[in-house]
Amino acid sequence: MELVANWSYPTAVWFGAGRVSELPAACAAAGITRPLLVTDRVLADMDITRRALDSLEAAQLGRGCFSEVDPNPSDHNVAAGLAVYREGGYDGVIAFGGGSSLDLGKVLAFMAGQTRELWDFEDVADYWQRADAGGIAPVITVPTTAGTGSEVGRAGVIINSATAEKKIIFHPKMMATVVICDPELTVGMPPHITAGTGLDAFAHCVEAYSSPHYHPMSQGIALEGMRLVKEYLPRAYADGSDIEARAHMMSAAAMGSTAFQKGLGAIHALSHPVGALYHTHHGTTNAVCMPAVLRFNRDAIKERFTAVAAYLDIVGGFGGFVDYVERLNKVLGIPRTLTELGVVDPDLDRLVRDALADPSTAGNPVEMTADNTRRLFEACL
């Protein structure tokens, strides 16, 4: 089967090996004549980024680049990027990289024409309606990892540096005009990043499938996303040049992000404050928390994950599924606990408070309280 296609769900997705060469055409489709490519510091010096900038320059689109993107991007990164964007006279953004670069790029495009401050648009109630929709610049997303699925998302996660909290900035028009999913861009990912990002995609599918909210389309996407991760993440981890495995994992990442329109849950409610306070890798943190959260939600999700286990050819129903997740973590070199991940002497009161304030709690099938959330953190530690 040839793994090349054009999709229009949830937006225009140009999928296939080598399609990053179509970046100038994507700019034309988005109406961008002077793009700012947003990437991280490491990617900025890599050949895949230089080639992308070369193609833009050859098409007379310039080679504007902003790379001051932290692994967990903050409001300081947003302010620095906006200064470059506005002073450079850019008219659109190419978000190029992993979840951090994609999130920051989308937020820069969103904030380009806004006059209110960033936190006025936090994903709370209908705050997104405060935005001047006409001031949102077009954005093209080009993922170089296969995990967050931020390339097909309508939000960006940004750290509030004053409070050390991860905040979600949301607007429907933050969705990319064109997404270029080129699995060749993920071939250079080292095994530990392949594992962490791949399990992030898996966590998105697991939490979407666990959510009590009604969204049967997302439910179906989450189920197939889990299957793709089960089949292809071990292959991509074992052989980073396996382009078929890389392609299917890129699909799984986009599917996870699309599915969690249905909701996230306790995995993300725990991992967001851990990442904000202790700067751990997001996907890896999700993977560490996943078995404990599955057990925490057992009574509410046992029946549906017994069906998942049957679909994935996992023996043992719900218990077998949890055992499978723990085996997969071990095979992929994921730390067994948050302590092994580097969370030493944690501030549990702060973690519990921030977890309960995280919007992901609303999608968990078991109500999260101060007492059971503390116990859940202790189980992960």
Domain harbouring 145, CATH code? 3.40.50.1970
The whole-number pLDDT of residue 368 equals: 98
The arithmetic mean of pLDDT across residues 51-55, rounded, is 97
The arithmetic mean of pLDDT across residues 45-69, rounded, is 97
Are 41 and 137 in a shared domain?
A: yes
Are 247 and 329 in a shared domain?
A: yes
177-197 tens-digit pLDDT? 999 999 999 998 999 999 999
In which band, very low, low, confident or very high, does the pLDDT at 9 lie, cut at 50, 70 and 90?
confident
Examine the pLDDT at 1 and tell me if it is beyond 80: no
Alpha-carbon distance of 15 to 283, in angstroms, equals: 23
In which band, very low, low, confident or very high, does the pLDDT at 6 lie, cut at 50, 70 and 90?
confident
Give the percent of the chain with pLDDT over 90.
97
* The pair of three-digit structure tokens given for residue 51, joined into one six-digit string: 């080639």
CA angle 300, 233, 145 (to 5 degrees): 100
Are 81 and 165 in a shared domain?
A: yes
Examine the pLDDT at 5 and tell me if it is beyond 90: no
Are 112 and 217 in a shared domain?
A: no
**Residue 258: enclosing H or E segment and its boundaries?**
helix 243-259
The arithmetic mean of pLDDT across residues 67-96, rounded, is 97
Burial 356-378, CB ≥16 within 10 A → b, else e: eebbbbebbbbebeeeebeebbe
Are 110 and 225 in a shared domain?
A: no
Q: Which residues contact 11 (CB under 8 A, 6 or more apart)?
A: 152, 175, 176, 177, 178, 179
In which band, very low, low, confident or very high, does the pLDDT at 276 lie, cut at 50, 70 and 90?
very high
Backbone angles phi, psi at 122, to 5 degrees: -60, 150
Are 41 and 102 in a shared domain?
A: yes
The whole-number pLDDT of residue 288 equals: 98
Cα distances (angstroms) measured from residue 36 to each of 33, 53, 75 = 10, 10, 18
Are 195 and 270 in a shared domain?
A: yes
Number of structural domains found in the chain? 2
**Residue 170: enclosing H or E segment and its boundaries?**
strand 165-170
Residue where a domain terminates, one of 166, 185, 204: 185
Residue where a domain terminates, one of 162, 185, 208: 185
Are 198 and 64 in a shared domain?
A: no
Residue where a domain terminates, one of 142, 167, 185: 185
Are 223 and 155 in a shared domain?
A: no
Which residue range(s) make up the domain with 130? 5-185
Are 206 and 170 in a shared domain?
A: no
Examine the pLDDT at 328 and tell me if it is beyond 90: yes
Q: What is the CATH number of the domain that holds 225?
A: 1.20.1090.10
220-260 tens-digit pLDDT? 999 999 999 999 999 999 999 999 999 999 999 999 999 99
Q: Mean pLDDT across the chain, nearest whole number?
A: 96
The whole-number pLDDT of residue 165 equals: 93
Are 213 and 350 in a shared domain?
A: yes
Are 275 and 338 in a shared domain?
A: yes
| CA proximity to 362, closest of 251, 167, 213, 245 | 213
